[in-house]
Structure 1
Amino acid sequence: MSNPNKIEIIEPRTVWIGADNAPVRLVMYGDYESEACAKAQDIVDQLLQQYGTSLRFQFRHFPLTRIHQYAHKAAEAAVAAVQEGKFWEMHHLLFAHRRRLGSISLKEYALEAGVKDKNFIPKLVDSVYGWTVRADLLEGVEKGVRDVPTFFINDQLYTGNVSLQALAKAIDDAMPKKRKRA
C-alpha cells in the first residue's frame, strides 16, 4: 500500500538545459550565495549560447553553510521550483539576488519564477526538500568537490581556471573531433 502523505520529489539531478544528445555535458556544483558561482553561471550562460546543441548543462547544489547561512534554504527553494518545472527561472533569480535570500525574499522569487505552490513557505520551514539538497552535497563530496564552483566535463573533474576561455578550451577538448565549434 502506498503512503498518501509521501511526496514524490523531482530531483535536481534530472534537470538539464541543452540538447539530450549533446556530446559534452557540463555539471557545476555551486552555492547561491557565492559570488564566484554567480560569475561562473554567467560564463556557463555564455557557453550555452556559444555551443548551442553541442553542450548540455546541469547545476547541482553544494551550499557552503559554514559561510553562507542562506545557501541551503535557497537551494531548497530551487528544488521546490523543480517540482513545477521552474528550476531555471528560480536558479537565475537566486543568483541575481544572492545578497537577499531570506524566506520572504525566496517567496517573492518563487512567485516571479512562476511557482504556484501555496505551501512554498511551510515546505521551506519544514525542510521538505532539505534531504534532496543534502543528497547533491554528499554526492559532490564523494566526487571530490571541496569548494564552489566545481565543474565536471563529461563526468571528469575540471581543475582549470573558471574563465570563458579556459572552460571553452576544455569543452573543445572534450568534443568529438568532428563537432568543434565554428
Structure 2
Amino acid sequence: MSGLTVPVSTMDHIQGSLDEPVVLVEYADFQCPSCGEAFSLVKRLQQRFGEGLCLVFRHFPLVQAHPQALPAAITAEYAAAQGRFWDAHDALFRNQQQLGEVVYRELMRELGLPEEGLAAAMDDSSNLLRIQRDIESGMGSGVTGTPSFFINGELFQPRQSFEELYDAIVQAGAKRS
C-alpha cells in the first residue's frame, strides 16, 4: 500500500479540520471526466459524514490529455489567493464540459473577482510552482492518474468503483475512534 509522502499542511486546500477522524486527500484534474464523476460523490460523502471528514484537494493536471486542466488549476489558484478556492473548485467541476477562457472570466464575475487579475495569474510563476508542487507530491506518493484518493495517508484503490470510498471512510473512522 502506498502512503502520502508529503503530509497535509496549511499550504493545502482544506475543507474541514485536520483533527477529524478521516482526512481524505484527492489528487484531481478539473477537466478529467472521472474526476467530474468523483466530484459529485465527494460532495455526497461530505454531506453524509459532515464534520467527521476533512477534504484536501491537490492539483494533478494531466496536461497531455486535458488542455484546459492547467488553465483551470491556475484559475482555482487565483481564486484561492482571494479566499475563494472552494467556490472556484466547485464551479470548475460543474462547468467541466465548457472549460475555457469564457468560463474562467464568467466565474470571476460570479465570484466578484477582478478579471484582469486572472490574466496576470496565468503568467504568474508562483501559481505554476504551487501546482507543480502538488504534482510532484502526487508522483512521489504513487499517483499515476486521476482521481487518486488517500484516506488518512494511505492510498485508496477501489476494486470496482469509487463508491467504495464510503465503506473505506467508515472503516478509517472506526480505526481512529
Question: What is the TM-score when the length of structure 1 is the normalising length?
Answer: 0.84
1:1-182 equivalences in 2 (<5 Å): 13-116=11-114, 118-160=116-158, 161-164=160-163, 166-177=164-175, 179=177
Report the number of matched residues. Answer: 168
SS in 2 for 1:76: helix
The 1:105/1:53 distance shift into structure 2, 3 A limit, reads: same
Shift of 1:12: 8.4
Alpha-carbon contact 1:18-1:55 (below 8 Å) kept: yes
The 1:173/1:143 distance shift into structure 2, 3 A limit, reads: same
Cα distance in 2 for residues equivalent to 1:128 and 1:178 = 37
The 1:42/1:172 distance shift into structure 2, 3 A limit, reads: same
Alpha-carbon contact 1:33-1:68 (below 8 Å) kept: yes
Cα deviation per residue 1:118-141 (whole Å; 9 max; x = unaligned)?
422122144541111111111100
Unaligned runs of 5+ in 1: 1-10
Q: How well do the aligned residues superpose, as a CA RMSD in angstroms? A: 2.0
Q: Which has the higher helix share?
A: 2
Of the two, which has the highest radius of gyration? 1
Amino acid at match of 1:98: Q
Shift of 1:163: 2.9
Cα deviation per residue 1:47-85 (whole Å; 9 max; x = unaligned)?
000001110001110000111011011101111111111
**Larger RCO: Structure 1 or Structure 2 (Cα < 8 Å, ≥ 6 residues apart)?**
2
Unaligned runs of 5+ in 2: 1-8
Residue 6 of structure 2 corresponds to none
Cα distance in 2 for residues equivalent to 1:21 and 1:125 = 36
Residue 7 of structure 1 corresponds to none
